């Protein structure tokens, strides 16, 4: 090769390398500043006084199909409004980016625990003036799921209302009737028969089957996140913070918290009646129960469509208790974004989609507990089997409390996940983990 060729080759390599170095590293940065799509400002069609309202819709294709049908009906009755669904805008990262770009969807979506960080930043519009003006009836919504969406600038649960709940998320204990029977459990759980922890633990031991050093069937499978173990801590009497609606300090040092956390993690680390993270990471918790590999499983209403496809008999029972019944409240809401250009049209759509009609349609899919009493306490919800005992979801709601409502919820949750990881892989005891959570909670809460 000639000297010239040499240089050219070297030049190409230099250029390519430098290009990759600079372009690659800063993709992250580039992603930050990428603007939202322009479709949020679709121009009005020739002469028509059309207002376009975009609506962030969460969920699977079946849910989105229901939302689309609601949107179609709304448009048929309101020919001055064009509704566009955007399923990506319901994603936290995408939503935040759209808001930052100044092009938020008119109707945004927030889970109960994303909502505080949106509240603090004024992303959603207070609905009170619309509600008063239209005498919109809030009575049909369960009070428990309306209250958390109130915010007065300092504390949650008080002040103006910023969202209307599309559902309530409550967790019950699913159980496999076939496995229970095979293990000789004669008295099937009923809505009135609340098991205590000991009885539940006995069941998990009786239904866990080992073969050749490996567990073939587990008595219990659990998601290990905070929403789940907090139920056990509450049942023992331990709140995580001083005020769930405006936390200022950790109360994780309450021995009752450890009592609940201990029993929860013992299923994996001591009793072996619940699978370790190694097993569930690949299999999925719900899939293990749906596959008939576990006798019981704690999760929300949204599991029902999946379990209806399984080939064994199953039902739900109340959460096992220690000193009192307990339940974690979750859920999600739709609200009008402050950055929306069409507040009035958005309100018309919002009040329609969380109405009884929309909730009835979602309830038919089987996957949610309606936020409206008229739908939840109807035959449609109570008699759609399995599960036979739908009433349990409504019973549990009475005991439900939210996890701390605070903009730093993601940080608190990370503290808990990291510590729980260490407990489940045997590098920390439950007591050490809870003590560390307590310290880190206080550091985070004091910094805000």
Binding site for another protein (CB under 8 A): 1, 6, 9-10, 13, 16-17, 20-26, 28-30, 32-34, 92-93, 96-97, 99-100, 117, 121, 123, 214, 276-279, 281-283, 410-411, 414, 417-418, 421-422, 424-425, 427
SS3 271: coil
Q: Is 176 left (phi over 0), alpha (psi -120 to 50) or beta?
A: beta
Q: Which residues lie below 8 Å from residue 313, measured CB to CB, with a gap of 6+?
A: 176, 177, 178, 386
> Which residue, 270 or 414, is less far from another protein as judged by CB?
414
Closest separation in Å from C-beta 65 to another protein: 25
Scan for tokens 């930052």, then name that residue: 100
Compute the distance between CA of residue 35 and CA of residue 97 in angstroms, rounded to an integer.
Answer: 8
**Measured from the CB atom, is 99 or 333 closer to another protein?**
99
* Least gap, CB of 45 to another protein (angstroms): 31
Cβ closest to another protein, residue 34 vs residue 143: 34
User: From the CB of 369, what's the least distance to another protein, in Å?
Assistant: 27
Helices 226-236 and 255-269: angle between axes, nearest 10 degrees: 130
Question: Please, what sign has the CA dihedral across residues 222, 196, 179, 312?
Answer: negative
CB of 79 to another protein, least distance (A): 35
Closer CB to another protein, 31 or 138, in the complex: 31
Burial 294-327 (b: 16+ CB within 10 A, else e): bbbbbbbbbbbeebeeeeeebbbbbbbbbeebbb
Question: CB of 368 within 8 A of CB of 302?
Answer: yes
Nearest approach, Cβ of residue 433 and another protein (Å): 10
Q: Dig out the tokens for 97 from the structure.
A: 């980016």
153 Rama class: left (phi>0) / alpha (psi -120 to 50) / beta:
left
* Contacts with 104 (C-beta within 8 Å, 6 or more apart), sequence order: 40, 89, 95, 98, 123, 337, 339, 340
Select 237 or 272, whichever has its Cβ closest to another protein.
272
DSSP 337: B
* Shortest Å distance, C-beta 220 to another protein: 17
Helices (H), 78-207: 92-100, 115-120, 128-133, 143-146, 177-182, 197-207
Whichever of 39 and 121 has its CB closer to another protein, that residue is 121
Q: Residue 387, preceding bond cis, omega within 30 degrees?
A: yes
Q: Would you say 25 or 76 has its CB closer to another protein?
A: 25
Pick 66 or 405: Cβ nearer another protein: 405
Find the shortest distance in angstroms from Cβ 440 to another protein: 10
Phi/psi of residue 169, nearest 5 degrees: -110, 120
- With H, G, I as helix, E, B as strand and everything else as coil, classify residue 153: coil
> C-beta of 67: minimal distance to another protein in Å?
25
- Of 188 and 279, which has the nearer Cβ to another protein? 279
Smallest gap from Cβ 282 to another protein, in A, equals: 4
Cα 261 from Cα 234, distance rounded (Å): 10
CB of 36 to another protein, least distance (A): 12
Strand 214-217 versus strand 327-336 pairing type: unpaired
Q: How far is CA 252 from CA 249, 257, 258, 429, in A?
A: 9, 6, 8, 15
Q: Which is nearer to another protein, 276 or 341 (CB)?
A: 276
């Amino acid at each position: 090769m000639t000297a010239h060729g040499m240089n050219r080759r070297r030049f190409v390599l230099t250029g390519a390398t430098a290009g990759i170095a600079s372009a690659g590293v800063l993709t992250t940065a580039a992603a930050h500043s990428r603007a939202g799509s322009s479709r949020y400002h679709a121009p009005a069609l020739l002469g028509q006084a059309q207002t376009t309202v975009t609506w962030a819709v969460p969920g699977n294709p079946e849910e989105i199909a229901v939302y689309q049908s609601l949107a179609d009906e709304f448009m048929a009755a309101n020919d001055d409004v064009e509704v566009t669904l955007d399923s990506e805008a319901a994603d936290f990262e995408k939503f935040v980016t759209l808001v930052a770009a100044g092009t938020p969807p008119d109707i945004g979506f927030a889970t109960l625990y994303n909502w505080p960080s949106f509240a603090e930043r004024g992303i959603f519009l207070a609905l009170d003036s619309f509600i008063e003006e239209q005498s919109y009836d809030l009575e049909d919504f369960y009070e428990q799921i309306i209250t958390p969406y109130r915010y007065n600038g300092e504390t949650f649960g008080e002040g103006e209302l910023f969202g209307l709940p599309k559902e309530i998320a409550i967790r019950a204990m699913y159980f496999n009737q076939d496995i229970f029977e095979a293990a000789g459990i004669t008295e099937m759980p009923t809505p009135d028969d609340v098991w205590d922890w000991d009885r539940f633990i006995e069941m998990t031991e009786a239904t866990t089957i080992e073969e050749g050093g490996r567990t073939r069937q587990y008595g219990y499978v659990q998601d290990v996140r905070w929403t789940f173990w907090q139920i056990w801590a509450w049942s023992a009497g331990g709140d995580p913070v001083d005020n769930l609606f405006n936390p200022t300090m950790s109360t994780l040092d309450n021995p009752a918290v450890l009592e609940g956390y201990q029993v929860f993690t013992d299923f994996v680390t001591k009793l072996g009646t619940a699978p370790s993270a190694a097993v569930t990471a690949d299999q999925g918790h719900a899939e293990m129960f749906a596959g008939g590999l576990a006798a019981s499983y704690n999760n929300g209403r949204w599991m029902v469509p999946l379990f209806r496809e399984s080939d064994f008999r199953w039902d739900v029972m109340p959460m096992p208790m220690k000193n009192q019944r307990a339940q974690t409240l979750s859920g999600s809401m739709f609200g009008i974004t402050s950055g929306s250009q069409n507040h009035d049209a958005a309100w018309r759509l919002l009040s329609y989609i969380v109405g009884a009609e929309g909730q009835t349609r979602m309830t038919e899919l089987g996957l949610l507990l309606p936020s409206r009493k008229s739908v939840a306490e109807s035959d449609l919800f109570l008699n759609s089997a399995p599960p036979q005992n739908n009433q349990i979801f409504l019973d549990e709601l009475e005991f439900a409390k939210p996890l701390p409502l605070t903009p730093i919820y993601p940080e608190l949750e990370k503290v808990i996940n990291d510590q729980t990881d260490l407990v489940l892989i045997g590098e920390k005891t439950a007591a050490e983990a809870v003590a560390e959570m307590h310290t880190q909670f206080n550091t985070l809460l004091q910094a805000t």
